Amino acid sequence: MGGARRPPLFQFGRWLGVVPFFVFSGLFLIGPVVVLAYRSLEGPDGGLTLDNYRELTNPTVLASYGLSIRISLTTAVLGGLIGFFLAWAVSMGGLPRPFRSGLTTFSGVASNFAGVPLAAAFIFTLGRIGAITALFELIGIDIYGAGFTLYSYWGLTIVYLFFQIPLMVLVLLPALDGLKQDWREAAENLGATPRQYWRRVALPILLPSILGTMILLFGNAFGAHATAYALTGGLLNLATLLIGQQISGDVLNNPGLGYAVAMGMVFIMALSIILYSILQRRSERWLG
Amino acid sequence: MTISAPPIPVIETEAEQAPAKRSRFWAWVILIITALYFLVPLGATFYWSLRAEADKLGFEAYRRLFADSNFWPSFTESVINAIAAIFLSLLIIVPTAYWVTLRLPKLRPVVEFITLLPFVIPAVVLVFALLRLYGRPPLLLTATYDSSRVLLVCAYTALSFPYMFRSVDNGLRAMDVRSLTEAAQSLGAGWPTILRRVIFPNLRVALLSGALLTFAIVIGELTIALFLAQQTFGPYMANLTRSKVYEPSAMAIVAFALTWAAMGTIALITRPGKRG
């Protein structure tokens, strides 16, 4: 941006306000990840290699990625659908106005209510001694006897939905507001039924936004560690929990593989954020 | 679709009423089912938190929680960490957002990209990376508890970037930065004075909401604190969940109330008409 003709002091002043930001990000975000990326490419006796990435096909690693991806997909799709219907209900479903602002504030709280307290709340609800578990027992159903446990794929899915649904609501409410009344009226004047209006007009316009937010939810669940750790104590074979165990003591017996597993997560997260922003930009064409 | 203009409104209202009623019915069904999903765990936890004493409901679990010798130290430590991270984040983000709005707009995409990195790097990967970079000389920061704590605060500061930058950026867009800056300059103010006496005060709402959001995220943070071996509120809560029966329910309710207080305040100060 500069030129040699400018005095250096002036140049410095021009950049002064952003220098701390770049230095700090370099030290605590970019630098560490670059080091991790470098280590993931390092062989046991030095030298650059892709061996660590080839090792990702190791059954433990594949299983952990598989479970993480399955849980993230399930909670993204379920959370996305439920969140969409909920956002629709309070914005255009004809419910009294206060529900909308109430839901917005609640979603802000619930989408940030992750980690230990969330895990604890569900232990008291659906854990072995939980209130709902006890309620089922009262009517003669032993859900744990029937094979359910909170510390499993479905258990974790139920817990994750507590922050996934609100996130969907928060991102989708503005998109629903962007649907113009004119479009509906135009469709109706042309003789469209409400169903036709939704299928041919509203949903196609909303689709990039809905899909994009679901991808955001996917990343949100994929990178989650605290809730799963607090709930299962690290017993479930999730990718984030595997990295946690790798930090505590090389469970993979291969430090390089640990770095590759971590970088693989960064790669998947980056992919989902990129897809999200592409779809979001696309949805702004109509809803911007 | 004929030429008869006047009847159209009548037909519309008649045709609209039935579907509107049906959609309202479904809206209620959806709202009630999801409300149950969200309220039952909170209710169950609250119920448990009242049952610490045999045969009667009371606040014994809360009393025990607050009397626990590790509760206040870990909580205060987390509050101090959060405040430190918020100030550091403000110090870094306010000038940056101001600069890319006014002086270096070409840098905006780069800055936006970097502020999004905490969403791309999961917390567990970030702490892994930090431990590898700062776990050994020449950049050894994990040698003592206090130096690890510095690292923790820096990590929290980085985690706050997406929220802080967006909040401050929205705030700057809502006011006329250029005119305000030029007015201040023509009165002879330098950059530090402009930032401190013109920009900061006009950004109060934006800064406060960014700060509260950061607080809500950082106060009970578990992953990074755990692997940096810090005795903060997150690891304390995790321990409590494993070792006690009734106190964790009281703890979850307190944590929920804290999050609610932070987010409720944001909703209150950013109400439409008071945007900024």
Q: What is the ipTM of this complex?
A: 0.91
Mutate to test the interface with A, among B28, B120, B151, B214 (most CBs of A within 10 A): B120
Q: Which residue of B has its CA nearest to A18?
A: B96
pLDDT on residue B7? 43
Residues 210-269 of A with CB under 8 A from B: 219, 222-226, 229-230, 233, 240, 243-244, 246-248, 258-259, 262, 265-266, 269
Which residues is A48 bridged to in the sheet? Answer: A42
Which of A85-94, A98-107, A241-250, B17-26 has the least mean pLDDT? B17-26
Instruction: Please tell me whether residues B195 and B254 are part of one structural domain.
Output: yes
| Minimum distance, in Å, between the CA of residue B7 and any CA atom of chain A | 12
**CA–CA separation, B213 and B39 (whole Å):** 23
Instruction: Please tell me whether residues B46 and B135 are part of one structural domain.
Output: no
**CA–CA separation, A262 and A41 (whole Å):** 12
Q: How many CB atoms lie within 10 A of CB A134?
A: 12
Say yes or no for a CB contact (<8 Å) between A115 and B222: yes
| Minimum distance, in Å, between the CA of residue A185 and any CA atom of chain B | 10
- CA gyration radius for chain A? 24
Say yes or no for a CB contact (<8 Å) between A29 and B8: no
pLDDT on residue B162? 94
Interface check A41 vs B, CB under 8 A: no
Highest CATH level, class, for A22-287: mainly alpha
Model confidence at A10, pLDDT cuts 50, 70, 90, reads: low
Q: How far is CA B183 from CA A279, B186, B192, B232, in A?
A: 41, 5, 15, 46
Instruction: Please tell me whether residues B209 and B194 are part of one structural domain.
Output: yes
- Asked whether A138 and A121 are in contact (CB, 8 A), the reply is no
Average pLDDT over residues A224-240: 90
Instruction: Please tell me whether residues B48 and B78 are part of one structural domain.
Output: no
Mutate to test the interface with A, among B223, B239, B243 (most CBs of A within 10 A): B223
Which residues is A179 bridged to in the sheet? Answer: none
Q: Which residue of B has its CA nearest to A131?
A: B44
Instruction: Please tell me whether residues B89 and B120 are part of one structural domain.
Output: yes
Q: Is residue B3 part of a domain?
A: no
Cβ contacts (< 8 Å) between A269 and chain B: which residues? Answer: 119-122
Instruction: Please tell me whether residues B163 and B59 are part of one structural domain.
Output: no
| Minimum distance, in Å, between the CA of residue A116 and any CA atom of chain B | 6
Average pLDDT over residues A69-92: 96
- For A125, the closest of B1, B8, B44 (CB atoms) is B44
Which tens digits make up the pLDDT trace of A128-178?
889 999 999 999 989 998 889 998 999 999 999 999 999 999 999 999 988
The residue ranking higher by pLDDT, A182 or B114, is B114
Mutate to test the interface with B, among A29, A125, A159, A171 (most CBs of B within 10 A): A29
Residues 43-62 of A with CB under 8 A from B: none
Q: Please report how many Cα atoms fall inside a 13 Å half-sphere around the Cα of residue B268, on the Cβ side.
A: 8
Q: Is residue B230 part of a domain?
A: yes
Instruction: Please tell me whether residues B36 and B156 are part of one structural domain.
Output: no
Burial string for A113-128 (b: 16+ CB within 10 Å, else e) reads bbbbbbbbbbbbbbbe
- Asked whether B82 and B156 are in contact (CB, 8 A), the reply is yes
Q: Is residue B125 part of a domain?
A: yes
Say yes or no for a CB contact (<8 Å) between B127 and A247: yes
> Could you please report the per-residue DSSP string of A104-170?
HHHHHHHHT--SHHHHHHHHHHHSTT-HHHHHHHHTT--TTTTT--TTSHHHHHHHHHHHHHHHHHH
- In total, the C-beta contacts within 8 angstroms joining chain A to chain B are 262
Instruction: Please tell me whether residues B94 and B157 are part of one structural domain.
Output: yes
**CA–CA separation, B188 and A95 (whole Å):** 55
Instruction: Quote the percentage of chain A above a pLDDT of 90.
Output: 66
Q: Which residue of B has its CA nearest to A267?
A: B120
**CA–CA separation, A251 and A257 (whole Å):** 10
Say yes or no for a CB contact (<8 Å) between A21 and B93: yes
Instruction: Please tell me whether residues B41 and B124 are part of one structural domain.
Output: no
| Minimum distance, in Å, between the CA of residue A238 and any CA atom of chain B | 12
Say yes or no for a CB contact (<8 Å) between A32 and B100: no
Instruction: Please tell me whether residues B179 and B165 are part of one structural domain.
Output: yes
Domain count along chain B: 2
Instruction: Please tell me whether residues B90 and B48 are part of one structural domain.
Output: no
Residue with tokens 């809560």: B237
Q: Is residue B204 part of a domain?
A: yes
Interface check A10 vs B, CB under 8 A: no
| Minimum distance, in Å, between the CA of residue B107 and any CA atom of chain A | 9
Q: How many CB atoms lie within 10 A of CB B228?
A: 23
Q: The domain containing residue B42 runs over which residues? A: 18-63
Q: Flag whether pLDDT at A7 surpasses 90.
A: no
Q: Provide the residue ranges of all domains of chain A, joining segments of one domain with +.
A: 22-287
Average pLDDT over residues A26-31: 96
The CATH number of the domain where B138 resides is what? 1.10.3720.10
The model's pTM: 0.90
Give the phi and the psi of residue A139 in degrees, each rounded to 5. Answer: -95, 15
Instruction: Please tell me whether residues B24 and B83 are part of one structural domain.
Output: no
pLDDT on residue B272? 64
Residue B270: closest CA among A168, A97, A105? A105
Mutate to test the interface with B, among A10, A12, A33 (most CBs of B within 10 A): A33
Say yes or no for a CB contact (<8 Å) between A247 and B128: yes
Which tens digits make up the pLDDT trace of A160-171?
999 999 999 999
Q: Which residue of A has its CA nearest to B214?
A: A112
Q: What is the pLDDT along chain B (276 residues), one digit of tens a residue?
A: 444 444 444 444 444 556 678 888 999 999 999 999 999 999 999 999 999 888 889 999 999 999 999 999 999 999 999 999 999 999 999 999 989 988 888 999 999 999 999 999 999 999 999 999 998 888 888 889 999 999 999 999 999 999 999 999 999 988 888 888 889 999 998 888 888 888 888 888 899 999 999 999 999 999 999 999 999 999 999 999 999 989 999 999 999 999 999 998 998 888 765 443
Interface check A196 vs B, CB under 8 A: no
